[in-house]
Amino acid sequence: MQETRVSIGRYQCSVCGRVLKASGEMIGRRVQCRCGHQFRIQEERLLFQDVPGVSITDPESVQEHHPLATLDRHSSASGSDETDDVTRVRNVREAYRAMRQQLSGVVIGQEDVIEQVLIAMFSQGHVLLTGVPGLAKTLLISSISQVLDLQYRRIQFTPDLMPADITGTEVLQEDRVTGRRNFQFVEGPVFSNLVLADEINRSPPRTQAALLEAMQERHVTIGDESRALPSPFFVMATRNPIEQEGTYPLPEAQLDRFLFNIVVEYPDRDDEFELIRLATSDVKADLKSVLDDQQILQIQQTVRRVPVADHVIAYARDLVQSTRPSQVTAPDFIREMVGWGAGPRAGISLVMAAKARAILQGRFHATTEDIRSIALPVLRHRVVTTFRADASGVQRDDVIRMLLDHVKPVPPANTTAPARVRRGDRH
């Protein structure tokens, strides 16, 4: 090994505060801290000091002498700069405050619902709103479309609604000049940024299935041709849990395609007073656009780049696996009260929603607390309770809360390492 002197600098992680060591060779390259945060080494933030006995031509020797330097040779595929992401996160936080302030003047006392809907949208997910009539579910969705400046369509699901009424159909038209006839596709209401499927359980399974491909693949197939939907694309569906006459339960495959199942509760005493006062006055809220479609797409890309530590992913995995009665780690009350547990899509949803929640709160990394806060809307429609639980009056939310008390986050040092061990994890 060539004996020389190489410039070694100290670099502090902006997320966890850990001090990393990096050589001058690493300037401009992406590194990853042990907390999972990725960033680029900037020369102006390095405090250099010469370290003898290290070969400048041998990056492995720098790594061996200074194990805290966690160089990731595979740069991010998006090629984004850390400074841009940091600025965008701060802008998202300010935009989130502005959106909540405007929506609070229209929808009274539903702060948690508003937050969860926005988390789902920034996570590229769809939302199922469950609540009795009169709780402003439709008003909330239409107001969000105005604040986000999105193209909005509403579909009222009825027993006679056909799949073509949602996706569109080909119509035979005649050219008046040439007399020729050809088929022309007429787009349905699903070709929009924000689609409200009002009372989605009012239509038969054949019509409900028209949304399956659109929700998962972001396109619809008519005949032999697949047509892409506009981007961003969201489906917000409402469901009445009381009146079940003439309704068709949503199949589990379709429920699983919703990122969140948000339960809209009754307003409390003060909120209902304010709601009645505003609804009976001539005051009208003037909603202004805060974000547009391109900014939403940028936020969605930023959410995917939010770092998540291994122990946070492990906590999401443990929660999901513990909902399955056949799992060895499942507690006894899960085996008694749950017939079918959540699938892998639940774990993905937990982590994605945790990333979006962290950004909305102005943080640059997701935590186990983020996982806990969105566990109910992610898991409640993916867990099927048994007859014993239903007969005992135990609801799905009760089972999930018991599970949150049972499954504890594993400390970072004890987290099971992934198959690919990063070089920064060497000791």
61 found inside a domain: yes
Listed in sequence order, the residues at least 6 apart from 201 whose beta carbon sits closer than 8 Å to its beta carbon are 157, 208, 239, 240, 247, 248, 249, 250
| Same domain flag for 128 and 232 | yes
Which tens digit of pLDDT belongs to each residue from 190-203? 999 999 999 998 88
| Same domain flag for 235 and 179 | yes
| Same domain flag for 384 and 335 | yes
Sign of the dihedral through C-alpha 75, 77, 83, 86: negative
| Same domain flag for 155 and 241 | yes
State the residue range of the domain holding 159: 82-279
Question: Which range, 23-27, 171-175, 392-396, has the best average confidence (pLDDT)?
Answer: 392-396
**353 φ, ψ (degrees, to nearest 5):** -65, -35
Q: Among candidates 135, 108, 114, 109, which has minimal Cα distance to 283?
A: 108
Mean pLDDT of 142-164: 91
| Same domain flag for 61 and 109 | no
| Same domain flag for 173 and 262 | yes
135 found inside a domain: yes
| Same domain flag for 103 and 233 | yes
- Residue 23: helix, strand or coil by DSSP? strand
- Residue 134: helix, strand or coil by DSSP? coil
**Amino acid 2: pLDDT:** 41
160 found inside a domain: yes
* Residue 333 near residue 320, CB atoms below 8 Å: no
Q: For 383-419, give one letter per residue: b (16+ CB within 10 A) or e.
A: bebbeebeeeebebeebbeebbeebebbeeeebeeee
| Same domain flag for 59 and 103 | no
pLDDT higher than 80, residue 419: no
pLDDT higher than 80, residue 361: yes
Enclosing H/E stretch for 42: none
- β-bridge mates for residue 186, sequence order: 169
313 found inside a domain: yes
Which tens digit of pLDDT belongs to each residue from 279-329? 888 877 788 888 888 889 989 988 998 889 999 999 999 999 999 999 888
Which tens digit of pLDDT belongs to each residue from 395-409? 999 999 999 999 998
**Bridge pairing between strands 338-340 and 38-40:** unpaired
pLDDT higher than 90, residue 379: yes
Which tens digit of pLDDT belongs to each residue from 325-347? 998 888 999 999 999 999 999 99
Token pair for 233: 């694309």
Q: Is 134 exposed, middle or buried (0-12, 13-18, 19+ CB in 10 A)?
A: exposed
- Residue 338: helix, strand or coil by DSSP? strand
| Same domain flag for 347 and 388 | yes
Q: Assign residue 91 the CATH number of its domain.
A: 3.40.50.300
| Same domain flag for 359 and 387 | yes
- β-bridge mates for residue 236, sequence order: 127, 196
Please count the structural domains in the chain: 3
| Same domain flag for 11 and 42 | yes
Q: Where are the alpha helices (DSSP H) in 233-386?
A: 252-255, 269-279, 293-304, 310-322, 332-337, 344-360, 368-373, 375-379
70 found inside a domain: no
| Same domain flag for 12 and 121 | no
71 found inside a domain: no
- Residue 40: helix, strand or coil by DSSP? strand
285 found inside a domain: no
- pLDDT band of residue 15 (cuts 50, 70, 90) is low
- pLDDT band of residue 244 (cuts 50, 70, 90) is low
pTM: 0.75
Q: Terminus-to-terminus CA distance in the chain, angstroms?
A: 22
Which tens digit of pLDDT belongs to each residue from 63-74? 333 333 332 333
Give the CA dihedral 221, 224, 227, 233, nearest 10 degrees: 10
Phi/psi-derived region of residue 72, left when phi > 0, alpha when psi is between -120 and 50, beta in every other case: beta
Q: Assign residue 350 the CATH number of its domain.
A: 1.10.8.80
Phi/psi-derived region of residue 79, left when phi > 0, alpha when psi is between -120 and 50, beta in every other case: left
Higher pLDDT, 342 or 3: 342
112 found inside a domain: yes
- pLDDT band of residue 172 (cuts 50, 70, 90) is confident
pLDDT higher than 80, residue 37: no
